[in-house]
């Protein structure tokens, strides 16, 4: 991999990745939602369900086109963004509110939304870090084994592994002792099944994105000599 090579869309994908991760984990993840669905009946799930899987699609695209090393840099950028978000949430929640009726009500509401942010962010960082690297590692290794063929099998296969690590770690760390145990188990299983299914359904879009980026970037990286350590930050 050429360390100093610049790409047209890499930075935009990184920014989108960070945005999706922050929004899905800080806005959607804290809410358990329930819907009555045909054939499935009543389904309980985390409200981030429709958005967080985008991060794994970005991870697949980054690894497939630019390689594991460049995806690793994006994962660390996301990690840093989550740390800052947690720090800001802590400061905002703990600053004394102005002494008026509106702020008294608002303080209660903001504590309800962001009061347990440290657990959500801790769960997000650990789960995302482990899940993303597992996903990218499997994706990169499968690309070599398949000689670049069967992209659908590589994206789905890596997601099955990565989402299992991510989903199980996140819900245990973030919500154990906060949600009822039955609800926690139900949401975890539902999240895992729906996230993997969601990415499978997005396969045609992933194919188009990968094809477009390979063409315009002139890159189709194979991680044959890559150092897969998460702490080796060189692209």
pLDDT tens-digit map of 108-157:
888 877 776 677 778 878 998 999 999 999 999 999 999 999 999 999 99
pLDDT tens-digit map of 57-88:
899 999 999 999 999 999 999 888 888 888 88
Place of tokens 């993840």: 29
pLDDT tens-digit map of 86-112:
888 888 888 888 888 888 888 888 887
* Cα–Cα distance list, 16 to 10, 37, 55, 74 (Å): 10, 30, 9, 10
| 57 φψ region: left (φ > 0), alpha (ψ -120 to 50), beta (else) | alpha
Say if residues 45 and 32 touch (Cβ distance below 8 Å). Answer: yes
**CA-to-CA distance for 93 and 26, rounded, in angstroms?**
14
**CA-to-CA distance for 113 and 179, rounded, in angstroms?**
14
Say if residues 63 and 136 touch (Cβ distance below 8 Å). Answer: yes
Note the pTM of the prediction, 2 decimals.
0.83
What residue spans of the chain are helical by DSSP H?
10-23, 53-66, 68-94, 101-114, 117-145, 151-175, 181-201, 203-217
pLDDT tens-digit map of 190-215:
778 888 988 889 999 999 999 999 99
Angle, CA of 79, 231 and 29, to the nearest 5°: 25
Residue 46's pLDDT is: 67
Residue 4's pLDDT is: 63
């Amino acid at each position: 991999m050429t360390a100093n090579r610049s790409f047209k869309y890499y930075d935009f994908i990184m920014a989108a990745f960070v945005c999706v991760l922050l929004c899905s984990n800080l806005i959607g993840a804290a809410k358990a939602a329930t819907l009555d669905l045909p054939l499935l009946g009543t389904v309980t799930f985390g409200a981030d369900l429709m958005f967080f899987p985008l991060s794994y699609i970005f991870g697949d695209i980054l690894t497939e086109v630019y390689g594991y090393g460049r995806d690793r840099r994006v994962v660390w950028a996301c990690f840093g963004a989550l740390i800052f978000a947690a720090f800001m949430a802590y400061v905002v929640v703990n600053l004394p509110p102005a002494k008026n009726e509106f702020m008294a009500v608002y303080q209660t509401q903001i504590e309800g939304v962001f009061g347990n942010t440290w657990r959500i962010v801790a769960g997000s960082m650990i789960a995302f870090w482990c899940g993303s690297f597992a996903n990218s590692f499997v994706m990169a290794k499968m690309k070599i084994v398949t000689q670049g063929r069967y992209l659908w099998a590589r994206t789905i296969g890596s997601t099955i592994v990565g989402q299992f690590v991510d989903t199980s770690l996140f819900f245990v760390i973030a919500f154990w002792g906060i949600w009822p145990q039955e609800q926690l188990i139900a949401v975890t299983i539902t999240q895992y099944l729906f996230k993997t299914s969601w990415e499978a359904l997005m396969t045609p879009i992933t194919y188009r994105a990968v094809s477009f980026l390979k063409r315009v970037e002139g890159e189709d990286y194979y991680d044959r000599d890559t150092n897969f350590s998460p702490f080796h930050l060189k692209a």
